[in-house]
Amino acid sequence: MPGHIHFHPADAQGIARVIISHPGKLNALDIAMWRDLRAGFDAIRTQPRPPRALIVQGEGGSFVAGGDIEEFPRFRFDPATLADFHEEIVAPALEAMLACDVPLIAQIEGACIGGGLEIAACCDLRLCGQGSRFGVPIAKLGFPMAPREIEIVARVVGETVLRELLLEARVLSAEEARLRGLVTRVLPDAEVAADAWRTAQRIAELSPQAMRLNKQALRHFTQGPASQRADREPHYAYAPSAEHREGLAAFNEKRPARFLDPDDPAR
């Protein structure tokens, strides 16, 4: 049975979901799923009213247990097809996630292995259950991690931890992942979904403009600091915006801020 990536539209609060589903394979990703992941996130970038928060989760109590190994013999034994898989399919999907200006919350339950760890690394917050496991034990399968994927994961876990995961083929417990800074917080398994939802609700109440600009600035930071003031000037264009004025007015008037979409009839 093929896998699927389900992009569920935002609800009335502006919270959307991406559900990774591959029944019987712990949501292992096949080629079509990687392509769908890229297409879905590319589409979010062009939406006139994108979600305010997006939860990324696996179906059936597992996040993602790596790639669909049954597919691997079709392309892994030829340098050209192997390069195409990583450079033209996997990396663009991850980069589409990184380019998304919507806050991404990884709801991690069960296995977060290989490609699952890469997807989680592209999310802003990673919430996991106590029974979750994290790793990239692909050396046991006789192959390394692709260069661009190393860059993406190292940005989150750091070089020291990534060397441990790759060179020892270590699989970390949830608590080990927390201590190494890989996850935001660890919860009882039964509470992960509810906590992810509460987190999304809190984010959805905040300024979408602030979220977007924060994510853009964080992306630039990971690429190296802007050396010239002129490079940073566009960041401050939000100064006269309605959201900026509303946030400060609400604080001074001692009331909750209402960050409405420009075409919301309640504005």
Please list the residues that pair with 57 across neighbouring strands. 19, 107
Number of helical (H) and strand (E) elements in the chain, helices listed first: 11, 10
Query: Dihedral of CA 184/128/7/20: which sign?
Result: positive
- Residue 7 β-bridge partners: 18
Domains (range + CATH), the chain: 4-204 (3.90.226.10), 208-252 (no CATH)
pTM here is: 0.91
pLDDT of residue 221: 72
| pLDDT computed for residue 123 by the predictor | 97
Length of the chain: 267
| Contacts of residue 105, Cβ cutoff 8 Å, sequence gap at least 6 | 53, 54, 55, 56, 123, 124, 125, 127, 196, 199, 200, 203
pLDDT of residue 236: 79
- Token representation of residue 205: 């109440």
- pLDDT of 265 reads 42
Mean pLDDT, 10 residues at a time, the chain of 267 residues: 93 97 96 98 94 97 95 94 96 97 98 97 97 96 95 90 96 96 96 98 96 89 66 78 85 86 50
Residue written as token pair 């339950």 = 109
Predicted confidence at residue 223, as pLDDT, reads: 65
Neighbours of 108 (CB within 10 A): 34
The amino acid that residue 145 corresponds to is: M
DSSP state at residue 10: P
Supply the pLDDT for residue 224. Answer: 62
Tell me the one-letter amino acid at 94.
Answer: L
pLDDT at 267: 37
H or E stretch at 134:
strand 133-135
Neighbour count for residue 97 (Cβ, 10 Å): 23
CA dihedral 231, 46, 146, 19 (to 10 degrees): 130
Q: What is the DSSP letter of 126?
A: E
> Which residues make Cβ contacts (< 8 Å) with residue 178, sequence separation at least 6?
185, 186
Residue 256 token pair: 């909750």
Q: In 47-126, which residue ranges form alpha helices assigned H by DSSP?
A: 79-84, 91-98, 115-121
Q: What separation, in Å, do the N-terminal and C-terminal C-alpha atoms of the chain show?
A: 47
